[in-house]
Structure 1
């Protein structure tokens, strides 16, 4: 087994008594409910991030993700939502699949963790 990431020195599963952690990938889903007065109750886009590097339990499937990866996931989700709402034409990038129309209720943005670099730092868009 390869060396685990620095802040996930887990060998035994934290969730089940017999599992062992192995390197792999996982998928996370981030729903969005819009909260501003104008949009109250409408469903924003669901962001699905795929191919996330993680340690996975070989018994129960529990995923452990290191803090640096979590930070990157959070940036991808924020950037994808920002582009969806403000600059939908810039949401096209390698590793991004969009279902639905930006600005309309609902929709899905699929972002591949390994292949996607969204054209954001919000300061660079405008």
Structure 2
């Protein structure tokens, strides 16, 4: 195993209980991972998985409620809230979204 990074893509919403409408695809880049030098399969530790899940939840929440706050370093937005097939690209190392929806308001 070698240290490296991977890219994760999220098509399904973790916010389905809130039912805001069309959810964007969220692509998280530069996620720290260990990669098998033989087959390329990646392994991500649980703390990183937790952080990625928070980034995805926060990005989708901001997309629907406060889209102007998605203008953070390391975030690229394609599309508009409510449109089908929107995409948010989030760089794992460079993005600091308001973590936790209690901090947005």
Tell me the secondary structure at the aligned position of residue 101 of structure 1: coil
Which residue in 1 is equivalent to 2:8?
Answer: 28
Which residue in 2 is equivalent to 1:63?
Answer: 42
Deviation at 1:43, TM superposition (A): 4.5
Which residue in 2 is equivalent to 1:92?
Answer: 71
Deviation at 1:35, TM superposition (A): 5.3
Q: Which runs of 5+ in 1 are unaligned?
A: 1-20
Which residue in 1 is equivalent to 2:102?
Answer: 123
Which residue in 1 is equivalent to 2:59?
Answer: 80
When normalised by structure 1's length, the TM-score is 0.74
Deviation at 1:96, TM superposition (A): 0.3
RMSD between aligned residues: 1.9
**Which contiguous aligned blocks of 4+ residues in structure 1 show a shift greater than 6 angstroms?**
none
Structure number with larger C-alpha Rg: 1
Report how many residues are paired.
103
Q: Which runs of 5+ in 2 are unaligned?
A: none
Choose the corresponding residue for 1:111, options 80, 85, 90: 90
Deviation at 1:124, TM superposition (A): 1.5
- Which has the higher relative contact order, 1 or 2, with Cα contacts under 8 A spaced 6 or more apart? 2
Tell me the secondary structure at the aligned position of residue 55 of structure 1: strand
Q: Which has the higher helix share?
A: 2
